Chains A and B, each alone.
Chain A
């Protein structure tokens, strides 16, 4: 039996929770000084990141050989140039990690990974029954509660509105996501923009509560307690709605402005415009304290891409580009690079804007980790042999990783680490002592090589 206070703890983060989130503790307690949360932004891209693309162009011969042979390597970034597409982050190298050598074969790869890259399981082509566990973003969100718990933004499939996402709050449960900047803004700041919509549930909840109250009389024992819990649940949601409205004043100052082109799904916005607008909403949601964990599917193979520099008037397809099929006379690799540059521009904006927001003795960025990674491994038809990560982490990061290019030993060799190890590291470093997150890699298991636990060299 759950008591009233347990209701808040046990509430699963269902989609309804986005507007009716179970825990106000973080936001409401902030003024009481319960501590600064850690923030995590997962940016997933499609069509792979080729390890050679993210390698440093000016490796020494020795380091280049190690890197090409996929052997362990670690160098300081401040002594090296970044690849062209990463140079937008030159000013923030001290916060950057390029992490190579993680494998993700337990995830689903090739064209799409759906939920699997963030849950370390095979997703059986996006079936619900295959979702084995809460994805890593939701696990982290539990450690740093917030009104919205977790927010998922997605440009997958070129959709708009509120649609099915890829993150999972629990097994066999799919999250919902915001598929365009206008929808994200309207939903996250609903209590500011449309308080009536928040209130409209109250009549219904009040009616339901009243009916349950009538039923409660004459019942005894555990059934009475069950009835009371139901009433409490409804009451708690009404109270949360009320609190959301009360907070609208302080939320309003974080409300992001969006250009008119983004209205009604923003069908005519260019890709850089859409990305920038979504990034603005993401930053606003973080600054308003609405969430501490965001997953941002910045594209998938079905995302229509327009307005890229070099292909300004072309509509390009990420899938054909992955097959080296190109548009507008621009070789495919150049367009792919431009797509990545556009992604990096968003990362740069997030870093810079959070660095401008004071928090504690420093800035919001100090307590933030941004992870940019491929959903499907090392190429367009990746098999998960490698899953390169670009990480931007602030000064208070609980991991000891920043400012370095790190290559871990390749799959099937001693010391190799998988995506599961990396996620375990994130969890252990932030208060969840889970022994190992995710499915194990079968080749490592077959070779009896140790593959569970956190990556010790990253634990601060």
Chain B
């Protein structure tokens, strides 16, 4: 029996009773009384293969196996778990040992261990095997042979923790937030944003940063999630009650109804306060006439720190006016100052008198001494500038405040209160606070008299919150429970806090954080049940979009049309085809304000390819601009990632031979926004400028020479070259200088026989570029001064074939300053060849030795081709070596630079222009990009490899590769590893792909209508 079959057989044996209960420690209540025993046969096997290193004397790795019977139960079970893993993954006996158990012998020991662990429900291996990194341990041949296709497919009943994307979607939906992004130059509403205005949440459901499938259903809600959600819930509740319901009366209307009286009182108080803050002085004059001044407190001017004379030689540069202006605003003094300056009765006041006036105003109001000091210092130092500012403003922004009284009844109340509370010596601010206190008290009495909210109102609130947060109405029992809870909250906390607490309660329910996937209804003969229609709608929606079910899906549920496989098919197809929703693709690009980061196809389809290939990690690898050869590397990398997405989207949209195309396409997007017409027009413009001036002596033009071309320049709009504003200049030069700078790059784009001109900005200036990231050309070996641009894309690029030769993938699977053949090879082995690679042994220090005279491949080979290491590296290195024809930036090369100080030939300037390359020049050695492919299961594909293109070609033809990708797609859409009972699902998915011209949509459809997706089965105890 082959190793793979053995593993599969053992695995099947372990799982033959269904998913066993997983526990890291034995459950004492259910453990039957059981005396531990090792049979003679087993003992003999252990003696033969294990005791030599793990007996009482030797105890290698502090492991002793010859006294299992003497151990306390929990320690024994721990040890048995470790044995099981080591045996299962064939780490023990160590591969280098000559004496190895036969397959039967290994199976026998494993059976013994598994049985013992199973008796206590204590095995941890099953849990481990459910993790993404262990998915490939299930025998690939068995899965696709057909031998197991009659096993009934299903997924266990489960709750599936939401992902970071679903978290974002839930909060966006709950808060009815409508984020926007740019798409084709227009602002559009997008799904998938993480940003909510005025609310900052912590997303505790972040997925691991790994290449491959990241979102599995075997994660549990932990205390850490709960802690974060507690704060999120609190902040959200405050945001809803303090902001959202005030902005939008239709949003959770029960809240405004419950808080109606409070809101009314609050608004009244706010309006009275605002009126008094602005006009109390005037009102007091009206009320008290001449007596008013005598009632005011005795004026105490503030002291200002004296300005000392500068010491000799000392320099002093006053802070500019805009700084002082902001300070004055921060000190809340700007309004008084500007209003007083605007007041005609103060027009003729001197600076001194004016300052006195302001100080009196502030003093009488009762502003804090420190605030007044700060304001007065600004007035002392910036009076002329303040006056000038007003003149410059000329009534545009700074306008006089016109007196507007409150309505008559309000004015009565206000006057009465002032006269009631004012005492001699009161500052205006104190009078206002006394009045407010009286009114607040009165309003509070009113609210107490009105009593608590009615049961009906609270029930309305409960239902509205349930719909808004849990996306369903509360059933009768729940409604009663929540009503009782609400009433207790109101009694203990008051209305506002009660509402907030209720919102938090809903958000913190497990239903919010988990997707529900339990079978309902009649079980079939295999004990399988279908999901409820509602749960099915969420399963489908989340599988494809991360969003809650759309309108059509909801209607399908309500009308009973989401019950059969055909129903599922209809909905899945519809969602795959629809194009009326726009999704944000990459949150990191969104954070960088990168435009065109959107797609109109179901986002999870594109994201599968992103995560599977792992190329988005290119954005996170910290790279050196000097080694890149130019600046603005960040922009270039952002564009690189975005254009990789565009390429993938293009392939997915064509939906023909998708997997082959992804691996072997020779056409790429390089500095192109996806619109061929627009790119052509941009190139034509540059060509027209070149044609106009190329035969003229533009290098010696004077400014006035441009006037001869005024009409043309107005038409083509060269950046910063406006014939009607020839005297203009910016930080980089005047008009004629910038014209020549532009002509330099235009000429470089077209003077070597290039047919089209890359549409980057004519010269590099400040401000927004037309299309940022023109340096992307460097990744593809295009020289900016000799770039034969392609306006129609995707277009063929030399030395490239498929995503594995795309710079984004190459960078994502490289180190900061070097390539990484081992990880590139590992990726191919695991992702494309369904292989397994064990972890690095703990005793190994995985470092490539330095040697200034050898290539990285050579150095790596010397460290890893020793027999002990080669057992694992054989599966990786030969696949990774072929990519040595690309450096760590993904640039094609035939020579490898020896980037050591002693190998330096020429040091280039660190600062370059748009057209130059700032890389230093080093001695080189030729690249060896040969390799070896093994493991496709196809003798015509396995064999020696010339280079990466050769590898890509063969991988594209390999059935095993196709199947491996489909296995990963299964994991992605199901959220779990596959079992042998999923064999039929996988076989049919592959058949669907082949039967539909290599359609990935067909694969998705097949998976989401398979038994594995549709059916659930209760977990056996």
Q: Return the CB mask of B278-320 against A: 1 if under 8 Å, else 0.
A: 0000000000000000000000001111011010001111111
Q: Digit string of B1-30 for contact with A (CB within 8 Å is 1, else 0)?
A: 000000000000000000111111100000
Tell me which of A211, A314, A445 contacts B377 (CB under 8 A): A314
B1021 partner residues in chain A, CB cutoff 8 A:
220-221
Is A89 an interface position by the 8 A CB rule? no
Scan residues 365-401 of chain B and give those whose CB is less than 8 A from a CB of chain A.
368, 370-371, 373-374, 376-378, 381
Q: At the interface, yes or no: A176 with Cβ under 8 Å from chain B?
A: yes
Nearest chain B CB to A375 CB, angstrom units: 19
Interface of A is mostly: mixed
Contact A226 B230 (CB under 8 A): no
For chain B residues 706-731, which have a beta carbon within 8 Å of chain A? none
Give the docked Cα–Cα distance between A214 and B901 (Å): 69
Partner of B508, one of A11, A208, A320: A208
Chain A residues with Cβ under 8 A from B588's Cβ? 127, 129-130
Give A20's nearest chain B residue, CB to CB: B227
Asked whether A234 is an interface residue with its Cβ less than 8 Å from the other chain, the reply is yes
Q: How far is the CA of A16 from the CA of B222 in the complex (A)?
A: 14
Q: Does chain B have a CB within 8 A of A440?
A: yes
Please state if B817 and A208 are interface contacts (CB–CB under 8 Å).
no
Let me know if A22 and B227 touch, CB within 8 A.
Answer: yes
B429 to chain A, nearest CB (A): 13
By the criterion CB–CB under 8 Å, are B504 and A2 in contact? no
Name the contact of A132 in the complex, choosing from B127, B227, B620 (C-beta under 8 A). B620
A-side contacts of B592, CB under 8 Å: 124, 127
User: Which residues of A are found within 8 Å of B376, using beta-carbon distances?
Assistant: 313
> Given A204-B505, A306-B374, A442-B817 in contact, is the A16-B316 Cβ separation under 8 Å?
no
Counting CB contacts under 8 A, is B476 at the interface? Answer: no
Mark out the residues of chain B between 475 and 492 whose CB falls within 8 Å of any chain A CB in the assembled complex: 481, 485, 488-489, 492
Number of interface residues of B (CB under 8 A): 93
Number of A-B contacts (CB under 8 A): 250
1/0 contact string of A163-185 vs chain B (CB within 8 Å)? 01000001111101000000000
Contact call A200/B323, Cβ cutoff below 8 A: no
The reply to whether A172 and B221 contact each other, CB–CB distance below 8 Å, is no
Chain B residues within 8 Å of A203, by CB: 485, 488-489, 492, 501
Q: Chain B residues near A1 (CB, 8 Å)?
A: 22-24, 127, 220
Given A122-B622, A200-B492, A328-B305: A268 touches B223 (CB 8 Å cut-off): no
B residues 594-651 touching A (CB-CB < 8 Å):
620, 622-624, 626-627
Verify A171–B504 contact, CB threshold 8 A: no
Q: Report the Cα distance A331→B493, complex, angstroms.
A: 54
Complex interface: chain A residues within 8 A of B200 (CB): 164, 174
Q: Is the CB of B220 within 8 A of A2?
A: yes
Report the Cα distance A310→B900, complex, angstroms.
Answer: 54
B517 to chain A, nearest CB (A): 10
Stretch at the interface among B201-209, B533-541, B752-760, B1000-1008: B201-209
B591 at the binding interface (Cβ < 8 Å)? yes
Proximity string of chain A (315-335) to chain B, C-beta cutoff 8 Å, 1 when within and 0 when not: 101011000111111111000
**Given the complex, which residues of B lie within 8 Å of A315, measured CB to CB?**
327, 330-331, 374, 377-378
Bound: A330/B315 CA distance, A: 9
Query: Which residue on A lies nearest to B209, using beta carbons?
Result: A171
Instruction: Check if B229 is an interface residue, CB within 8 A of chain A.
Output: yes
Distance of A229 Cα from B223 Cα, bound (Å) = 9
Contact between chains at A11 and B817 (CB < 8 Å)? no
In the assembled complex, the CB of A138 is this many whole angstroms from the nearest CB of chain B, namely: 13
Closest-by-CB residue of A relative to B226 is A233
- Contact A223 B624, beta carbon cutoff 8 Å: no
Tell whether, in the assembled complex, residue A176 and residue B622 are in contact, meaning their CB atoms are under 8 Å apart. Answer: no
Residues of B within 8 A of A234 (CB): 226
B48 at the interface (CB under 8 A from A): no
B157 at the interface (CB under 8 A from A): yes
Question: What per-residue 1/0 map shows which CB atoms of A16-31 lie under 8 Å from chain B?
Answer: 1100101000000000
CA distance A330 to B309 in the complex (A): 9
Question: A79 at interface (Cβ–Cβ under 8 A)?
Answer: no
B-side contacts of A237, CB under 8 Å = 223, 226-227, 230
Q: Is the CB of A16 within 8 A of B622?
A: no
Tell me if A128 counts as interface (CB < 8 A to partner B): yes
Chain B interface residues toward A at CB < 8 A:
19-25, 127, 156-159, 194, 200, 202-204, 206, 209, 220-231, 234, 302-305, 307-308, 310, 314-320, 323, 326-327, 330-331, 368, 370-371, 373-374, 376-378, 381, 481, 485, 488-489, 492-493, 497, 501, 504-505, 508-510, 587-588, 591-592, 620, 622-624, 626-627, 816-817, 850, 899-901, 1018-1021
Listed from nearest, the 8 A-B pairs whose CB atoms lie closest are A221-B1019, A12-B224, A14-B228, A329-B307, A127-B591, A16-B230, A442-B624, A16-B231
Supply 29 A–B pairs (Cβ within 8 Å), ascending by A: A3-B25, A11-B227, A14-B204, A20-B227, A127-B592, A172-B203, A173-B202, A211-B509, A219-B157, A220-B1018, A222-B1019, A225-B23, A227-B510, A268-B370, A313-B374, A313-B376, A314-B305, A317-B323, A319-B323, A329-B308, A330-B316, A331-B310, A331-B315, A440-B622, A442-B627, A443-B624, A443-B626, A446-B624, A447-B901
